[in-house]
Structure formats: C-alpha cells, structure tokens
Structure 1
Amino acid sequence: METKVQITDMLYSLPVENVQALASKNLNRIPSRYIRPEVEFDVVSIDESQQIPVIDMSKLDHDDEQKKLHQACKDWGFFQLINHGVADEVIEKMKTDTQEFFNLPLEEKMAYAKIPNYLEGYGQAFVLSEDQKLDWGDMIFLFGLPVSTRDPRF
C-alpha cells in the first residue's frame, strides 16, 4: 500500500519573532541571531558584458532551449522567463497586492502569521534550529500548487 505524503508534512519552520516587531522595540543592539560575523564577503567583480539568462518558455520543447535552461540553473541559479503566458496585468496586480500587503500595519499582517511548525504564512520561514542565523527581513510564503497543500487562510 502506498503512503500519501503531503508537501506540508515534510516542510516546517520553528517559530521566531517577527522582524518588524523586533525593529519596533528600539533595541540597543541587534539580536545575535541576526549577526553573521563568520561571513566574509568576497569582492565581486562585475562583467558588464554578462546578462541574466533569458529562457523562452514557448521554446522549451527544443533541445537548445533546454540546454540554455540547464546552464542558467547551473551557472546562475536563476533566469528571466519570457513567453510564459501570464498576462502583464496579472503580474502587475501581483506586485501591487504584494506591496500593499507589506505596507499594512504589523497588527493586520499578523492575521496571516505562520502557524508554529508550518511553513506557509507571514514571518520567517525555513528556521530549522534555535542556533540558526536568521535574515533581517520577513516574508510571506505561500504554496501555489498543488491546490491541496494551500492554507485556506490565503
């Protein structure tokens, strides 16, 4: 008998205080969880001739576009996707709605806060240990597909 495993069964995050709430406390110092003294930044040289890879979704059934996609993922870790079929109006609405959400007062955003040991919601995500260094920023993480994994609050 095959066991059905939900995506949400495999992904979780420990609860941590919201960064916006921390920032509003007028702390005298940054909490140690957000300080990364072990990180040394390399000097980044910019080659102006390099451009972010552009992948044409309408051509992904061709070997050459698949190779471009593979190289973009391998060498860059990201790419710009064109001819994906999502209308510009939908993209702009998503950007506007996202900006409006993050402009809400903290109290209103907290209605969408992450539930402990669950990944979706507003706040920090991917926190796996009490000793883990954290990013100084909040996010909203949502599942799009499969629909069965979506939190009905969203």
Structure 2
Amino acid sequence: MAPTKTSAAQWDNDSVTEWVINKGNGVKGLSETGITTLPHQYIQPVEERTMSKVLVGESIPIIDVSNWDDPKVGEAICDASEKWGFFQIINHDIPLEVLNNVKKATCRFFDLSAEEKNKYSKENAVSNNARYTTSFIPKAEKALEWKDNLSLFYVSEEEAAALWPSSCKDEVLAYMHNGEKVAKNLLKVLLNGLNVTDIDSEKKQLVTGSKRVNMNFYPKCPNPDLTVGVGRHSDVSAFTILLQDDIGGLYVRVEATDSWIHVPPVKGSLVINIGDAVQMLSNGRYRSIEHRVAANGNSNRISVPLFINPRPEDIIAPLPEVLANTGEKPIYKPILYSDYCRHYYRKAHDGKATIDIAKA
C-alpha cells in the first residue's frame, strides 16, 4: 500500500530510499502517491535545471532515408553528424507496428507491481544484463533524476529468453533486430564519410559489436521546473537510435551559442545521435552532443533508446585511416571501452566531462 505522504517535507532521505529504491516503486510509484510538491531529493541545482536559452522554431535535421545509397542522403547524415551530432530519420523501413509494440511493452513493464519490477533491481537480479533502476546513479547523485529505467544488454537470444522480463522481451527483441538494419546502414554512411571504404568484419564489430536497449519512464512530476528527467550528458555509445512517444521533452545543446533546442516528436521517426565512441574513432569530426530530458507536469512520458556500442574488450582510438587520410594528429589516446564506460557509470551526469579522460 502506498504511504499517505503528499507533502514533500514528509519524504526524508530514508523514506525516499526505502519506498522508491529498496521497495522498487520508483518515481512512478512516488508520483502515484499523489504528492503535490517535489521531495527535496529531486530538486536540482539551478544551473542543472535551467537551460541558458531555448531556441524556439529551431530543430535538428530530418532526413529521409528511403534510399540509403543516395549520395545526398549520405551527405546529409555526415553533415548533421558534424554540425549537430543529432538528426531524425524518416522512411527507415522499420514497421510502425514494431515501434508501437515496443512502446506498449514499455508501458506494460512499468505498470507491473513494484514487487515484479524489483526482481530486476541490483539487489535481486540474477544478471547485470537485465536491470531495473531509478534515476541514474542514485548513490553518486547529489540530486536524483525524475526517471525510472529498465536496461537490457543483449548477449544472445537464449539469454534474453531466459532473463529478460516476459512482459516486454519479444517486443524489445523485434525493435532491436529491426534497429540493427538501421545501424548497419548508418555505419556504412558514417565510415564512407570518413573515406573509410574497407569496412571489414573487425570494423563492424569495433563500432557496432554490442547492443543495449533502455526502456525509460518519466512519470508526471508535481514541480517539473525544479528537476530533470535526465541531466546533461552525452552518450558513451557509438551512436544511439531513439524512439520517442508523442509527448516530447528531449533537448539538445547548441555549443556555439550555448543554447538548447527541443527535438519534437515526428510520427514514425527515429532520433539518431552520435556517441562518444564515434567521436573518438572519427578523431573529433563527428561529435557527441550534450542533451537532456525535461520533466513533465502534465503526463507520463516514455522513450526507448537502442544503444549501438563497441564491445567491452575493444580499444577505442582514432581510426588509422582517418589519421592517414587527413594528416591529423590523434586527439584521443587509446582507451579500453569497458574502462571508459566504468568511469561514466560511477558518477552523476556531468555534461561531456567523461571524454576528457581519453584526450591525448
């Protein structure tokens, strides 16, 4: 039974930890208690919850990829990857049914009882490859983020069948396997844009060797202006394929003007963003960009990112062909991908600070 605490002052550190984290209710459960003001644990510093300037009417590029082999499509993708680090794609050939089904499955998982969801918590899960969490890294954060999350790391069909929640595993696998086709085309376009034309199996594995799907749930928030759904960060992936619902709330930073633009949902589209790994592999030509998610005071919101990553055992550094083709010196030193990720996941979101450890 939910506690009858509707006042923020009644939620001390211990009660938030117990109800939200230990008992598995998450912020969805906290929101559903009927609270009318935000508990202090979720109040972000002013500089983290305030966007310096939001550009109204601006948007990231929307690219029609119905013909991946069209040179103009490749040029548009590479140009967006250099200038924005973000773009949306339409006509990507993933059936709308697949996208709708994984959105429904996301809602279905988060509608499970706290007891069922908590089977996948850090304390109870039988594997790190299916993990239910709230916020980002609660033990490392001075202020918590207003988000619950199920993270599913793909190893094999057999493991997914055995360990992923039955409420969503089939839909997530269908989304992931369809997304692999998009990833294959993106890999070819991005590497060709770097004049890397010999895309052998080793390069494919280096850039797209592992996959993770996150199912994100952002509950209705009593004071959305005081917190964030997700704080400022770039992704550690090679690139990310994001499915939004129709609510909106994703913002991308424009570095040149220190401003932010909203990424409006487009029916049937996918948002693509460059991750830190591809920024390093391209020696900084393609850029990972800070982005964040605003909390919403009117409704729940979901999103489903598919992270396309190097393998944990891969060494990430500027591709030799990139350096040879441009004559550039490497901006980044070689780093074990698992070490890079370990550094990222032991601290709160802090913009793009993680990539500094890889600078030459």
| Normalised TM-score (structure 1) | 0.61
- How many Å apart are 1:64 and its aligned residue? 2.4
**1-structure distance, mates of 2:156, 2:147:** 27
Summarize the alignment of residues 51-66 of structure 1 with structure 2, pairs less than 5 Å apart.
Answer: 51-66=59-74
Matches within 5 A, 1:1-154: 17=21, 18-20=26-28, 30-32=39-41, 34-37=42-45, 38-39=47-48, 40-47=50-57, 50-114=58-122, 115=125, 118=128, 120-124=130-134, 126-127=136-137, 130-131=140-141, 133-144=143-154, 147=156, 152-154=162-164
- Seen in structure 2, the aligned counterparts of structure 1 residues 69 and 120 have a Cα distance that, compared at 3 Å, is farther
Cα drift, residue 46 of structure 1: 0.2
**Aligned equivalents of 2:130 and 2:83: distance in 1?**
29
* Count of paired positions: 135
Q: Which runs of 5+ in 1 are unaligned?
A: 1-15
Unaligned runs of 5+ in 2: 1-19, 165-360
Deviations 1:32-82 (A, max 9, x none): 4x33214243231302xx444223334333332223223333444433222
Instruction: Report the TM-score, using the length of structure 2 for normalisation.
Output: 0.31
Partner amino acid for 2:65? M
Change (3 A) 1:51 1:127: same
Tell me: CA distance 1:129–1:57, structure 2 relative to 1, closer, same or farther (3 Å).
farther
CA distance in 2, matches of 1:94, 1:117: 22
Distance 1:113 1:79 in 2: 33
What do you get for the CA RMSD once the two structures are aligned? Answer: 3.7
Q: Secondary structure at the match of 1:86?
A: coil
1:134 to 1:62, Cα distance in 2 relative to 1, 3 A: farther
Cα offset for 1:142? 1.7
Higher strand share: 2
Counterpart AA for 1:78: F
CA contact (8 A) 2:64 2:92 kept: yes
**8 Å CA contact 1:123, 1:140 repeated in 2:** yes
Identity %: 32
The one-letter code matched in structure 1 to 2:146 is W
